[in-house]
Amino acid sequence: MNQQMQKKPDWGLSYGELVWREFFKSRLNAACLIFIVFLFAVAVLAPFLANDKPFVIRIDGRLHFPIFANLSASDYSVFLAAIVGLTQLRLIRRNRRKIEPSIRSDVLWRQVTISIAVILIGTVSAFIFVPRRLDATDYKSMIVSGKASGAIFAPVPYGYGRTDLKSREQPPNREHWLGTDDVGSDVLCRLIHGSRISLSVGFVAVGISSVIGIIIGAILGYFGGGVDFAGMRIVEIMMAVPTFFLIITIVAFFPRSLLNIMIIIGITSWTEDARFIRAEFFRLRRQDFVRAAVSLGLPLRSILFRHMLPNGIAPVLVNATFGIAGAIFIESALSFLGFGVAPPTPSWGQMLSLGVSTTGRFLWWLTLFPGLAIFFTVLTYNLVGEGLRDAIDPRLRKAE
């Protein structure tokens, strides 16, 4: 008995695994995925990579841990999200080995729902309970003047909001590896913290737009007829309104914050997803397994989301990656025009706007590095999306 249990059960390859393998056949796709993982690592670990406070410092004989003491609510929620994400990935691997395919997708949905719930609850509690601390002590001068000793600083020992007018607009040098911006803040530090802004905008905005798009598309696609007719008018309205101006107008209504911008981008870009899901559901509606589910009397929620959706989600996933790239673009455009996050929050788009000074003097380090950052991020997401689409496509065609 034990020996049988230990033998790895042979269930064949699932849909997800097939796509996974096809995706990794290309080395370019693999490289892009690695880059994205690297970006995530930078975004999660930002306060440890670039911070003007040291990890540990000895003042008057006592040890202080300034970085840890001053972690903010958003830092904690990002850590939580990262941990939950990693756990979820491990669980997926475990599912593949331990759970049989027929119930695997149910289990997966349950796990994903729990993960998202944990992240949401954790984020909200973090913002409620973690106190806001302000610590602008100049630890570096304390070391220099001898009041403190034994300090270990982060690799980039600058804070993104700290100003230093004497060193403003300096090209890359030994103190500031990528130069400084218009008030003397270190560019590398702002680039690192800016990755958080860009990635979070991408994910949250796309998350929101996907959810809205899926729900609306599912309802329209499943019911068809009059519901579809009315619904498509609404979709057409959203599509016909120039989104950029809508965004600018709405941004003026709410106070400037990252969350508002994410939500606004999300609620203006759901139309593509809705159309995809609607088209998929049209097609799936006529298939046997759906008819069977209906005749079994399963609840609507279950039919739509447990049975039909997993089969139609492929184009949405592909669109999501392009959507992330698009959201990052929109956010940089907004910041570039002056409508983005409030200063001094680091945003790649805002840094880009400083690149050509008003004299026409080309501050190349303020153009090149943020530009490259946006460029590579968007590029890798687009390539991953393309790779995903290629990986999925032949599968679909072979299935038909």
Partner 1 sequence: MTTYIVRRLLLMIPTLLGITIMVFAISRIAPGDPVSLSMGPGGQLDAARAADVRKARMALYGLDKPVPVQYAKWLGRVVRLDFGDSIKHHRPVINIIKERLPITLTLNIIAFVLIYAISLPLGVLAAVKHKKLFDRASSVVLFMLWSLPSMWVGQMLIGYFCGPTFKSWFPPAGLSSNYAEQLAFFPWLTDRLWHLVLPVFCLTYSGFAYLTKQVRAGMLDNLRADYVRTARAKGLSNWVVVFRHAFRNSVIPVITIVATLLPAMLGGSVIIESIFSVPGMGLLAFEAVTTRDYNVVMAVATIGGVLNLIGLLLGDIAYAVVDPRISFESAE
Partner 2 sequence: MNSRSGLVTFLVFLLLTAMIVLQILSMVQSDRLYERLNRLLDIQKGGVATKSAEEKKETSSLPGEEYPGDEGDWLIWSLGAEPATLMGITTLSSMYTRYIVSGNIFESLLEYDPDSLTLRLLLAESYNVAPDGLEISFRIRSDAHFSDGHPVTADDIIFTYQTIVNPGVDAASLANYYKDVDKVVKISEREVKFLMKRIYFKSLELTGGMEILPEHIYKFSNPEEFNKRISGPVGSGPYIFEKWDVGREIVLRRNENYWGHKPKIKKLVYRIITNDTAAIQSLRAGQIDFMRPLPDQYAELSKNEEFTRGIRCLSYWHPAVGYFWIGWNQDRPFFKDRRVRLAMTYLVDREMIRKHLLRNPEAKVPTGTFYIYGRQGDPNIQPWPYDPQKAKQLLDEAGWVDHDGDGIRDKDGVPFKFSYMISSGVSLHEQIAKLVKDEAAKVGIEVNLDPYEWSIFSQRLLDRQFDAVNLAWGGAVEEDPYQIWHSSQIGNRGSNYVGFKNAEADALIEEARRTLDENKRNELYHRFHRILHEEQPYTFVYTRPEQRFLDKRFENAIVHKLGVNTLEWYVPRDRQKYK
| Partner interacting with residue 299 (select from partner 1, partner 2, none; CB below 5-8 Å by kind) | none
CB 49 within 8 A of CB 154: yes
| Partner interacting with residue 255 (select from partner 2, partner 1, none; CB below 5-8 Å by kind) | partner 2
Q: Give whichever of 77 and 377 is closer to partner 1, judged by the CB atom.
A: 377
Instruction: In angstroms, give the least distance from the CB of 92 to partner 2.
Output: 41
DSSP classification of residue 171 = P
Q: Give whichever of 265 and 374 is closer to partner 1, judged by the CB atom.
A: 374
Q: Give whichever of 177 and 329 is closer to partner 1, judged by the CB atom.
A: 329
| Partner interacting with residue 250 (select from partner 1, partner 2, none; CB below 5-8 Å by kind) | partner 1
CA distance 202 to 266: 9
Instruction: In angstroms, give the least distance from the CB of 358 to partner 2.
Output: 4
Q: Give whichever of 57 and 368 is closer to partner 1, judged by the CB atom.
A: 368
| Partner interacting with residue 111 (select from partner 1, partner 2, none; CB below 5-8 Å by kind) | none
- The sheet with strand 148-152 has its strands ordered as 62-64, 56-59, 148-152
CA distance 47 to 129: 20
Q: Give whichever of 202 and 355 is closer to partner 1, judged by the CB atom.
A: 355
| Partner interacting with residue 132 (select from partner 1, partner 2, none; CB below 5-8 Å by kind) | partner 2
User: Which residues have a Cβ under 8 Å from the Cβ of 51 and sit 6 or more positions away?
Assistant: 67, 153, 154, 156, 157, 158, 159
H-helix or E-strand spanning residue 151: strand 148-152
CB 286 within 8 A of CB 222: no
The verdict on 372 binding partner 2 (CB under 8 A) reads: no
Can you tell me whether residue 271 is helix, strand or coil?
A: helix
- Residue from the set 374, 388, 391, 392 that interacts with partner 1 by CB under 8 A: 374
Phi/psi for 23 (5° steps) reads -60, -45
The verdict on 367 binding partner 1 (CB under 8 A) reads: yes
At 167, list the tokens. Answer: 């060193």
DSSP classification of residue 186 = B
CA distance 204 to 262: 6
Chain contacts with partner 1 (rule: CB under 8 A): 28, 232-234, 236-237, 239-246, 248-250, 252-253, 325, 329, 332-333, 336-337, 349, 352-353, 355-356, 360-362, 367, 371, 374-375, 378-379, 382-383, 386
